[in-house]
Amino acid sequence: MPADAVEITEALYQEVITHRPLDKTLAHDERGVPYLVAIPQDATVLERMWRDSELLACTWLRDRHRDQIDIGGGTTLSTEQFAELLIFMQQLRDWPQAEAFPNPQYRPVSPVWVAEQTQ
C-alpha cells in the first residue's frame, strides 16, 4: 500500500469509485480523501482536442504500415498490432458520442505498444 494512501469507508468507496455518475469526475481534498465534482461545461471542447491530438499522433503509424504493404516490403507492425491500432483509432472517433463523454476517466486507452513505436 502506498505511504500516502488514505483509508476511506466502504460507503464512500461505493459512492465515488464504484457508482460514480458519468457526469462527475474524481477529485481529492487536502488530506487525499476522494470526492466527486461536476465536469465543467468546456470539458467537451478539451476532450475533443485531446481526441484529435491522439488521432493525429496515431495517423503516421497507420500510414507507415499501409505504405510498407504497398511497396511490398516487411512491416514494422504485426497484423494483430495493426488491427489493434485501427480499433483504437475508431474508438477515438466514437468517443464524442459515448455516454461517458467528456469524462476523461473513460477515454479510450491506447495499446501499450503504441508508445514504444513513437519514441
**Residue 65, number of CB atoms within 10 A of its CB:** 19
Residue of 62, 79, 73 lying closest to 114 (CA atoms):
62
- Whether the pTM exceeds 0.85: the reply is no
SS3 assignment, position 119: coil
pLDDT per position in the chain (119 positions), as tens? 777 788 899 999 888 888 888 778 888 898 889 999 887 768 888 899 899 999 998 999 999 999 999 999 899 999 999 999 999 999 999 999 999 999 999 999 999 999 888 65
Domain ranges for the chain, please list them.
Answer: 1-38, 43-117
Q: What is the pLDDT of residues 77-93, one digit of tens each?
A: 999 999 999 999 999 99
Q: What angle do CA 75, 79, 80 make, to 5 degrees?
A: 135
